[in-house]
């Protein structure tokens, strides 16, 4: 069962398994989101958008629709 980055629980460590082929894919890659990277959600805004993630010691913020483009699996 495939899960997307927007649906993970806070502080749950996951591994990126795929990024959807879309117009936003190059931006996500530039942000360091590549297959095999470990990532976890560290903060969600009150209405769930945006979401802050920690990846490679960096904190990035993404909109929910961007996070929905990233497929993840348990790390």
Residues 6+ apart with CB under 8 A from 59: 42, 52, 53
What pTM was computed for the model?
0.90
**Average pLDDT estimate for 31-43:** 95
Host domain of residue 64: 3-74
Q: At residue 2, does pLDDT exceed 80? A: no
How confident is the prediction for the chain on average, in pLDDT?
Answer: 93
pLDDT bin (cut points 50, 70, 90) of residue 28 is very high
Q: What was the pLDDT predicted at 1?
A: 58
* CATH (domain of 24): 2.30.30.90
Report the domain count for the chain: 1
Q: What was the pLDDT predicted at 16?
A: 96
């Amino acid at each position: 069962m495939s899960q997307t980055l927007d649906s993970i629980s806070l502080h749950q460590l996951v591994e990126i398994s795929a990024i959807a082929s879309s117009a936003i894919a190059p931006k996500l890659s530039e942000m360091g989101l590549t297959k095999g990277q470990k990532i976890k959600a560290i903060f969600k805004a009150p209405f769930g958008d945006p979401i802050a993630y920690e990846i490679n010691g960096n904190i990035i913020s993404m909109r929910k629709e961007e996070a929905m483009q990233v497929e993840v699996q348990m790390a």
